[in-house]
Structure 1
Amino acid sequence: MGTIVSVHPFDEEQVKAIQEACPSLDYVSVSGFGADEARAALMGAEVILGWNRDVLKIIHAHGIPLRWLQNLGAGVDHIPLERLQSLGVILTHASGVHPNGISESIFAMLLSLTRNVHIAIRNQQQQTWKPSKIMGEAHGKTIAILGAGAIGLETAKLAQAFSMNVLGVRKSGEPAEWVDRMYTIEQLNEVLAQSDYIVNCLPLTAQTKHLIGREQFAVMKPSAIYINIGRGGTTDTAALIDALQQERIAGAGLDVFEQEPLPQEHPLWKMENVIITPHETGNTPYYMDRALSIVLDNLKYYSAQGKPCRNVVDWQAQY
């Protein structure tokens, strides 16, 4: 009998659901195993749930029986896709668990930067009474959502409550609910030039690497606010810093960076017009429950059809 090996410590009730979803495979959790014991279990796995350094090591071994790897995160840019493809392993991810938490974080940044809440908090820490000379309003403004997937569309839905003009950018250019007008990636600069807020929800792929660079910041409005919750590598950090320092854009809300953790000496830390969070906008107590729903659907389909059905990575698209 084949095995499902999990590197994530699911609780007793969750383990029972996993076993019931795919009774033809034994279930093993290597959480708490020693390195050698964990490696031995992973080497014999037909299905692996989760990703860590031990999984990275075994997929470069020869003769492993692995058929399917279920990543419990949404991003797959840290996983060697070409190696999995060469092995004939199906890769799935947990995209769809993030819309609520991340869209709320996006608007927390957007509203803080608009209403100067971030500055008020810094003044409070210094016990300084210093009213703002002027503050903006988000109502009626134009927001561009780069990457109109589940997170982007939930953000668009919230934006509609602020009577915002919502522009979307997606590879297909196909219309979507809550987005007033959708564009293709080739029309990116046209979208940026119109927008008061730019929200980057893009995955990191060969096509999106440094997609937002000097040319893109140059076409943005001087009053624009740039928010990145997708992947740090989609933005040219040097170009971003220059745009902020030269006041070519008004501010930025950043949860992801090209180098993580962000080094202590990095200039972004000291910029008054920047909000930094440590890659945590997806943090929610409901994360694993939502991810498990995807896992269980995939396990049931795998048990019946020999392959998962949800969130299968497209090797060419790289997500």
Structure 2
Amino acid sequence: MTNQFVTFEFAKVAIFAIALMGLNLLTGYSGQISLGNGAFMAVGGYTTAILVQRTGIPYWTTIPVAALVAGGFGFVIGIPALRLTGVYLALATFALALSVPPVLNHYDTFTGGHGGIVMPAVLPPFSLDLSQEQWLYYMDSGIALLLFVFAWGVVRSRTGRAFMAIRDSETAATASGISLAYYKTLAFGLSAAYAGVAGSLLAIATSYLNPDTFGLSLSLALLVGVVIGGLGLDFGAVFGSLFVVWLPYYAEKASGLHIGALSFAGKPDIFYGALLIVILFFAPNGAAGLLQRAWRWYLHRRTAVRSPLPEPVAER
């Protein structure tokens, strides 16, 4: 692996961390299962690509626009989703993810169809002495940090408490005076806005988009990533994005592995799936949950070691 490749992949880690933060707000905190966040990434990505290609405006100015457009789309999708919960909501968003590539191919006047949209390569501003990959890494990581702080604040605000109340019991939340319609659609809108930013940054990083970029596999990878990282945990998105970006690479590398008569040669998906099962078995609460438990165990042991033993009582 070259330094440029590693730097670019870690820029993608920051991008997918943003998408997973949004999905964590929706699924981890408000309890609404979504298999369609790849569609919201597509909205953000194509908003940036079309604006840059057709108007020539600077790429960085399109990022907030992509967030607003995708967030509005998510808010609209969230309205009919109010009537759905659990597996029915998952199936509805699954259908949304399935529809994205055909729709993008159909409106090829705007999206470029199968040929996609080619954007100008991103150059570091102000003549900074950075490579393209380094600049993408710093920019994406900075935006991810800002959005992490925002999500952290949302979770600890009245809105976050309402999300968690709805997740735990919609009946109890309604009895407490929480508006299900408002907070559930708000969760969809916030999640979609985060996905829109991620899609915009992905378009900027790759300088090229086509409908296959946002296929069903992307939405599934996002859901798997947020589960592996840790649902409803602050740093779950970070660990999940490392999984989404790097595990397929190492699965491909390990596809030539032989264990006795068992061979993974040419079968990276088998290795990927087997490793996923192992991770879920040993860390059902995700990587962040596993580290959280390990930290608590360490603190408990440290406290136990430091606590003085009681002095024996002398017998009379």
Q: TM-score, normalised to structure 2's length?
A: 0.23
Which has the larger helix fraction?
Answer: 2
Which has the larger strand fraction?
Answer: 1
Q: TM-score, normalised to structure 1's length?
A: 0.23
| Structure with more relative contact order (C-alpha pairs < 8 Å, separation 6 or more) | 2
